[in-house]
Structure 1
Amino acid sequence: MNTSGNWFFWAALSAVFAALTAIFAKIGIQGVNSDLATLIRTAIIGCILAAFVWFTGKWSDPFTLSPKTWLFLGLSGLATGASWVCYFRALQIGDASKVAPVDKFSLVLVAVFAFAFLGERPSLHEWLGIGMVAAGVVVLALGR
């Protein structure tokens, strides 16, 4: 199976790494301010990604990108930063097994936002799955 172009392979790998992120972060933030921990994590990510882009030969001049690309990548970066700060704060005071699933409510929001802003139209089957994720988050949140 050619995995390089298989979106499901990469999405599943993302889920594995996201799960490890929650576990490693929960262990790593013990006795450390969550904002400082987020900064350290972000600096490490920046270094790793810069090396990855450089060594894979994918570096290009970012100043040739369009203003629209800069705007939306900038907004994405701001949203990512805000998400990480909130996620680490939640991990510091809550159980990883509860925080991570609630964080994945983003799946529901992505579907709603993609419907509203990108014109994507999930099938009834897909909406059912999205609704089940939403219901699972509600069950977790109410189960305190």
Structure 2
Amino acid sequence: MSWAYWALLSALFAGITAVLAKAGTNDIAPNLATAIRTAVVLVLAWVIVVVGDKPEWKTLSGRAVVFLTLSGLATGASWLCYFRALHLGEASSVAPVDKLSVVFAIAFAALFLDERLVWQHWVGGSLIVAGAVVIATK
């Protein structure tokens, strides 16, 4: 299966996540909600690795550990902010604004990974920004 299939499934589950997370943050603090979700993700990820992937620990480089650690810190910060936003706002407004992450990812990929941006990146990114602005200012 191609990357597009997995990316579409990721988007589907992210949409489901927004609605479930909003429902889950109604009666508890957003940081507690984030901690519970993170614990579930942690257990699920390790079960998948241990049962399915059979990792070769020898291939794990220090560079990979550093970047994955930084990625984990960024994910944690993102989730804390996301759950706070969901606690305070509507999922139908918070989730689209959160998807501005796509525009940031495009820009960061060009800046730090030397990925070449083509016109489709510019047009698509602009449409994402426009859509987020329209929804956020409703």
TM-score by length of 2: 0.94
1:87 CA displacement: 0.2
Secondary structure at the aligned position of 1:113 is classed as helix
Secondary structure at the aligned position of 1:56 is classed as helix
For residue 23 of structure 2, what is the aligned residue in structure 1? 27
Q: d(CA) in 2 for partners of 1:103 and 1:124?
A: 23
1:16 to 12, 26, 36: 12
The 5 A counterparts of 1:87-102 are 87-102=82-97
Q: d(CA) in 2 for partners of 1:135 and 1:43?
A: 35
Q: d(CA) in 1 for partners of 2:80 and 2:14?
A: 15
For residue 68 of structure 1, what is the aligned residue in structure 2? 63
For residue 56 of structure 1, what is the aligned residue in structure 2? 52
Given that residues 106 and 121 in structure 2 are in contact (C-alpha distance below 8 angstroms), is that contact kept between their aligned partners in structure 1? no
Q: d(CA) in 1 for partners of 2:59 and 2:124?
A: 40
Unaligned segments of structure 1, at least 5 residues: none
For residue 118 of structure 1, what is the aligned residue in structure 2? 113
User: Is residue 138 from structure 1 mapped to residue 120 from structure 2 by the alignment?
Assistant: no
**Structure 2 letter corresponding to 1:113:** F
For residue 84 of structure 1, what is the aligned residue in structure 2? 79
Q: d(CA) in 1 for partners of 2:66 and 2:121?
A: 30
1:25 CA displacement: 0.5
For residue 101 of structure 2, what is the aligned residue in structure 1? 106
Q: d(CA) in 1 for partners of 2:40 and 2:56?
A: 21
Q: d(CA) in 2 for partners of 1:52 and 1:39?
A: 20
Unaligned segments of structure 2, at least 5 residues: none
1:141 CA displacement: 2.6
